[in-house]
Amino acid sequence: MSAMTGIIARRELAAYFATPLAYVFVLIFLMLGGAFTFYIGGFFERGQADLAPFFNFHPWLYLFLVPAIAMRLWSEERKSGTIELLLTLPVTRWQAVLGKFLAAWLFTGLALVLSFPLWITVNVLGSPDNGVILSSYVGSWLMAGSFLAIGSCMSALTRNQVIAFILTVVVCFLFILSGFPLVLDAVSAWAPRVLVDAIASMSFLTRFNAISKGVIALQDLLFFVALAAVWLAATAVVIEMKQAD
């Protein structure tokens, strides 16, 4: 990572905590995470001390919470006109895109770290497989990065943060939906098996569920990393195209 990327990341990360957004996001994430774990997820009824109920809901938590962070990445810059100032600095487009993304990704990582008391709680109540929990945290953070990269691209497309939010939710929902049996059955009715398998392999749920069960396969980790890289590259292309307009 270049020095300019680090400077932009620090600037953006500080900007989150300059507004109530950071505190509201963390509070909502922790409250919903706790509610999903202990109430909706039936933690006590299951009679098993683990964090499976907590992580099972992460794709759905991220579906709405992460776009709320990502929508401001570029929409706000374009609306205020500061994007021109940013890109006239001695910084490349890729450095700016990566710096903003890293700030948002570190911020979501902080929200995950603050859920650590849940990990302590299940260890007090029982003897969970901490290796599985650790892999679930890693997988969750990587999945959040994919959500953010998609949101970055959608934010670069429009000056309107609400539109950026909606576009991100729709695209991310499609990635989640692609793993549902209902979708796969509908596609398999007319498409070859290769296409059906390709669609299934793009599902956030399929990839994350494998990681959250402690099965850390290199292809699942690379999926989230590669997907984030593709969408960040698309963000840089969109910004260049918008500049040319």
Please provide the DSSP assignment of the chain as one string.
--HHHHHHHHHHHHHHTTSTHHHHHHHHHHHHHHHIIIIIT-HHHHT--SSHHHHHTHHHHHHHHHHHHHTHHHHHHHHHTHHHHHHHSS--HHHHHHHHHHHHHHHHHHHHHTTHHHHHHHHHHS---HHHHHHHHHHHHHHHHHHHHHHHHHHHH-S-HHHHHHHHHHHHHHHHHTTSHHHHHHHHTTS-HHHHHHHHHT-HHHHHHHHHTT---HHHHHHHHHHHHHHHHHHHHHHHHHHH-
Q: HSE-up of 194 (CA within 13 Å, CB side)?
A: 0
Torsion of CA 64, 174, 233, 95, to 10 degrees: 10
User: Which structural domain, as residue segments, surrounds residue 159?
Assistant: 3-244
- Tally of structural domains, the chain: 1
Q: Write down the pLDDT at residue 137.
A: 93
Residues sharing a CB contact under 8 Å with residue 100, sequence separation 6 or more, in sequence order: 8, 9, 12, 73, 74, 152
Instruction: Provide the whole-model pTM.
Output: 0.89
**In angstroms, rounded to a whole number, what is the distance separating the alpha carbons of residues 136 and 54?**
10
Q: pLDDT truncated to tens, each residue of the chain (245 aa)?
A: 577 788 888 888 888 888 887 888 889 888 988 888 777 766 666 667 678 888 888 998 899 899 999 888 888 776 666 665 666 666 778 888 898 999 999 999 999 999 998 888 888 887 888 888 899 999 999 999 999 999 999 998 888 899 999 999 999 998 888 877 777 777 777 777 787 777 777 888 888 888 888 777 788 889 999 999 999 999 989 888 876 55
Instruction: Determine the pLDDT at residue 232.
Output: 95
pLDDT of residue 153: 93
